[in-house]
Amino acid sequence: MIEKRQGAVKQITSHSNPIVKEIKGLVAQRKHRSQSGLFVAEGLKLATDALEAGWGIRYLALGPDARDNPVAQKAAAAAKARGALILEVSTAVMSAMTRKDNPQMVVGVYEQQLLGPRDIEPSGTTLWVALDRVRDPGNLGTIIRTVDAVGGAGVMLVGDCTDPFAVEAVRATMGSLFHVPLAKLGKDEFKSLAATWPGTVAATHLKGSVDYRTPDYAEPVLLVMGNEQKGLEDDMAAACPTLIRIPQVGQADSLNLAVATGVALYEIRRKHLEL
Ligand code: SAM
């Protein structure tokens, strides 16, 4: 179990320290993340984002380069004030914890936050993206980042999805994970929500008959995206009144999931986005 002593500073030099082992476990295994409700995010930018957004932080590990970095020291002071245990570690220990040859100078362990279906309040100009069984952590992280960029309200993970708190997914969000609410829903919960959604429910689909540039997207909007290999399940598609398609020429069968999400989002949010 992770050590509970918090709000203090601890030097760690040994790879076999129990906290190092626990952080390794959080990096490597979903089971550890689910059981503890914790996850690892690498880098000073993500630490700053997490602290600014008020996420719970358990540990902040600082490598040698962080000790005379003012931004890292400010983050450490903020984390300590929140009750986190500050870990001063060597580069070798940081490498072992993160399983990387060139680790970041700062690594944080944070408390997961996941909403349920009842926490989702579709109103006003809100826009949510629902992902059906998304498998690729890079796609998921990129979509979370793009939802942040267009001012979306959040991302729903429907069915058996990849772990949003896996290191690769967190890294791909570039910090947006800490600003975009995530919700986990079963398929039936999604269908009930879609049935009572007050604005537009539009799913992207390769068999869609509506050009994605033509609907007026009455708000709030729920944009639904299919799985990377199998697309959107038939019963999920049936729960969505509008099936939109992004035109393609050339030989590609389909667009990458994150690219398709970005293309659709920028059209849907067009009126909210100005330079
Ligand atoms: N073989 C899958 C299929 O038959 O649907 C391809 C899935 S595609 C890689 C992943 C998801 O991206 C799709 O389910 C859809 O949501 C979206 N997508 C990709 N290209 C699209 C396009 N041209 N029009 C509409 N949606 C698209």
Q: Which of 111, 141, 176 is the last residue of a domain?
A: 111
In ligand 1, the atom with minimum distance to the C-alpha of 254 is 20
Q: In this model, does residue 5 exceed pLDDT 80? A: no
Q: What gap in Å lies between CA 115 and CA 154, rounded to an integer?
A: 10
Cβ–Cβ < 8 Å for 131, 169: no
The reply to whether 3 falls in a domain is no
- The residue whose CA is least distant from atom 9 of ligand 1 is 228
Structural domain including 202 reads 117-272
| Residues 163 and 242 placed together within one structural domain of the fold | yes
Q: How far apart are the first and last CA of the chain?
A: 49
| Residues 121 and 208 placed together within one structural domain of the fold | yes
| Residues 178 and 98 placed together within one structural domain of the fold | no
Taking only the tens place, the pLDDT of each residue in 23-79 is 999 999 999 999 999 999 999 999 999 999 999 999 999 999 998 999 999 999 999
Residue type, 199: G
3-state class (DSSP) for residue 118: helix
| Residues 123 and 100 placed together within one structural domain of the fold | no
Q: What gap in Å lies between CA 60 and CA 62, rounded to an integer?
A: 6
3-state class (DSSP) for residue 213: coil
Taking only the tens place, the pLDDT of each residue in 128-182 is 999 999 999 999 999 999 999 999 999 999 999 999 999 999 999 999 999 999 9
Q: Which of 66, 90, 111 is the last residue of a domain?
A: 111
| Residues 18 and 39 placed together within one structural domain of the fold | yes
Residues with CB under 6 A from ligand 1: 204-206, 208, 225-226, 228, 231-232, 245-246, 248, 254-255, 257, 260
Cβ–Cβ < 8 Å for 203, 242: yes
Calculate how far, in angstroms, residue 29's C-alpha sits from the geometric centre of ligand 1. Answer: 29
Q: What total of structural domains would you count in the chain? A: 2
3-state class (DSSP) for residue 122: coil
Full DSSP string of 11-45? EE--TT-HHHHHHHHHHH-HHHHHHHTEEEEESHH
CATH label of the domain that carries residue 212: 3.40.1280.10
| Residues 71 and 48 placed together within one structural domain of the fold | yes
When pLDDT is averaged across residues 242-258 and rounded to a whole number, the result is 97
The pTM assigned to this predicted structure is 0.95
- The residue whose CA is least distant from atom 3 of ligand 1 is 231
